[in-house]
Chain A
Amino acid sequence: MNGSKINIVIDTNVIFMALYDPTSKAGKVINAAIENKIELYTTDTVQEEIRRVLKREIRLQDEEIEEKIRNLPILWIKKEIYAEFINKTKVKHKADKPLEALSILLNCGILSADHHFKNRLDINKFLEKIE
Chain B
Amino acid sequence: MKTIALPEEVYQELIELKVKQKEKTAAELITKLVIEYKKKKFIESSTIFKQRLKERKISFEELLKKSRSVREEISDEWF
1/0 contact string of B52-79 vs chain A (CB within 8 Å) = 1100101010011011001111110011
Say if the beta carbon of A16 comes within 8 Å of chain B. Answer: yes
Chain B contact surface mostly: helix
* Contact residues, A55-91 vs B (CB, 8 A): 56-60, 64, 68, 71-73, 79, 86
Interface size range on A against B: 35 or more
Interface size range on B against A: 20 to 34
Chain A contact surface mostly: helix
Which stretch, A1-9, A27-35, A120-128, touches the partner chain B? A27-35
Q: Are A73 and B38 in contact (CB under 8 A)?
A: yes
Given A19-B46, A19-B49, A71-B38, the answer on whether A13 and B64 have CB atoms closer than 8 Å is yes
Given A95-B71, A95-B72, the answer on whether A53 and B39 have CB atoms closer than 8 Å is no
- B residues sitting closer than 8 Å to A (CB atoms) are 35, 38-39, 41-43, 45-46, 48-50, 52-53, 56, 58, 60, 63-64, 66-67, 70-75, 78-79
15 residue pairs bridging A and B, Cβ less than 8 Å apart: A13-B67, A19-B46, A31-B39, A31-B42, A34-B38, A49-B74, A52-B73, A53-B66, A57-B56, A57-B58, A71-B41, A72-B45, A73-B38, A73-B42, A95-B72
